[in-house]
Amino acid sequence: MKMKTLMTGIFAFAVTAAFAQKGELSNAQTEYDKYETARGQKVTATLAATSIANAKTSIDKAAANEKTSVMPQTWALKGAIYSSLAVQDSVDATSAPLYSAAADAIKKAKELDTKGENKKLIDHANLNLAQYNLSRGVKLYQSKDYANAYKSFDAYRTILPEDTNAIYYSGLAATLSENYPAAISNYNKLLTTNYSNKAGVYKDLPTIYLMQKDTANALKVLNDAIAKYPTNPDYRKREIEINLQSGKTKEVLDKINTAITNDPKNKSLYYYSGLVYSTMADNTTKQIKTATAANKPALEKSKADDLAKAAEMYKKALELDPNYFEANLNMGYVTINPAIEMYNAANKLPANKQKEYDAAVAKAGAQFDLAKPYLLKAVELNPKSEDALRNLKTYYLGKKDNANATAIQKQIDALK
C-alpha cells in the first residue's frame, strides 16, 4: 500500500513537471503575442521589452526540457523570439549570437514541423532574419564596407530569394566590392523578375561584364536592351562605344547604313550614324593631344571630316523630327565644338596681334551662332537636361554674354 502511494506520488510529480514545461511553452507564446501587439508603440514600449524578455526566459526553459524540446512549436517560437531580439539589438557583439540561435532554431523547427502547423511562425521568424541582414547590410554599405555589406545582403537574399530589393542590393554591393561574378549573377536574376527598374540593370550590367573583359556578353545585354527599349538612345550609344573601342568602326557603320537603306524614314538610325561619327571625332581629339606636330594636321582634318559627317546625319534626323531632343543636343555639340577651338586658339594669340585676334574671335562667333538654334531647342525640349544647359552656357560664354551665362548656371544649380 505504501509502495502504491509512493508510485502515485512519483507519477503525479512527473505529470506536474510535464505540465509545467508545457506551461512555459504556453507562457512563451502568450508573452510573445503581447510583445507583437505592443512593439512599435511608444506608450507600450516598456511592456513590449518586458514581454519579450519573459518570452525568452520561458522558451529557454521549454527548449531545455526533454518533453517540450521535441515539439516543433518550441523551436518555431524560439526562432521568432530570438530573431525579434536580434533585430532590435544594434550591437553586433550581442545581436550576432541571438541571430545565430534564431537561425538554428528555425532550421530545427522546419525539420520537426512535418505537418506545417507552425509555418506562419517560422515564416515570421525568417522575415526577422531577413530584416536583420538588411539593416546590417545598409549599415555596412553606408560605412563603405562593401564586401561585408554584400555578405549581409546575400544572406537577406538567401532567406527571401525572390525579393527584388534583396537581389538588387546584393548585386550593387558585389559590384562595389569588385565581386563581379556575384554582381553579374544577381543582375541577370533581376532581369527574370518583375523588378521595376530593369532599364537601370540593362545600363549597369554591360559595364560589369566589361570589368571581366567579357565584351561578347556586354554586347548581348545591350542588344536585349535595345530590343526591349527601342526608343532609349543610351543603349545604342553604349553599343556603338564598345564596338568602336574594339576597333569595329566599319562594322558599326555598315550595320547602320544597311538599316537606313531598309528603313530610310527611321530618324533614330540617322541619329546613331551621327553618334558614330561624333564618337570617332572625340577619339581623334584624344589622339591629337599626344600626337607629334607632324601628325596633328592629318588628325585634325580627320576630326573635322567626322564632325561634318555627324552634323549631316543629325540634320537628316531633324528633317524627320525637328523635336528630336537627342539629335538637337548632339547637333548643337558638333556645331559648337569647332567654335570653342577657334575661340581658344584666338585667346592664345600674342597681344601684338590684335587684328588677327579680332578676326579669329569674329570667326568663332559666327560658328557659335550656327549652333545657337540647336542649343536653344534642346533646352526647350528638355529644360532639366544638364548637358543641354551646359552647352547653352558655353555658347553664352563664347559670345561674352555673361548675364545669360550666369542665368543658365543658376538653372544648372537648381537641378542639384
> CATH no. for residue 342?
1.25.40
Structural domain contains residue 10: no
Last residue of a domain, one of 143, 159, 183: 143
Nearest-CA neighbor of 275 among 223, 327, 315?
327
Q: Is residue 198 part of a domain?
A: no
pLDDT at res. 232? 83
Q: Is the pTM here over 0.85, yes or no?
A: no
Is residue 381 in some structural domain? yes
Question: Do 42 and 128 fall within a single domain?
Answer: yes
Residue 234 lies in a domain: no
| Residues 48, 108 within the same domain | yes
- Tens-digit pLDDT profile for residues 33-61: 888 888 767 656 678 888 999 999 999 99
Nearest CA to 58 among 33, 25, 101? 25
Which pLDDT belongs to residue 193?
Answer: 96
pLDDT in tens, 88-102: 988 989 999 999 999
Domain boundary among 116, 143, 170: 143
Q: Which residues contact 124 (CB under 8 A, 6 or more apart)?
A: 80
Confidence of residue 5 (pLDDT cuts 50, 70, 90): very low
Helix and strand numbers (H, E) in the chain are: 18, 0
Is residue 305 located within the same domain as residue 356? no
Assigned domain for 212 exists? no
Question: What domain count does the chain have?
Answer: 3
The rounded distance, in Å, linking the Cα atoms of 236 and 229 is 10
Least confident of 24-33, 146-155, 209-218, 325-334: 24-33
Query: 341 and 295 in one domain?
Result: no
If we measure between CA atoms, which residue out of 98, 26, 15, 103 comes closest to residue 62? 26
Residues 349 and 254 occupy one common structural domain: no
d(CA 273, CA 313): 6
Segment among 53-57, 166-170, 228-232 with least mean pLDDT: 228-232
| Same domain flag for 28 and 137 | yes
Question: Is 176 a domain residue?
Answer: no
SS3 category, 316: helix
Q: What is the pLDDT of residue 166?
A: 96
Same domain? 265 vs 301: yes
Instruction: Print the domain residue range for 135.
Output: 21-143
Q: Which three cell numbers stand for residue 191?
A: 532581369
Asked if 29 and 134 sit in the same domain, the reply is yes
376 plus 265 within the same structural domain? no
Is there a single domain that holds both residue 27 and residue 131?
A: yes
- Give residue-wise pLDDT tens across range 362-395: 999 999 999 999 999 999 999 999 999 999 999 9
Same domain, 326 and 309: no
Checking if the pLDDT of 2 tops 50, the result is: no
Asked if residue 102 lies in contact with residue 128, where contact means CB atoms within 8 angstroms, the answer is yes
d(CA 345, CA 337): 13
- 52 and 106 share one domain: yes
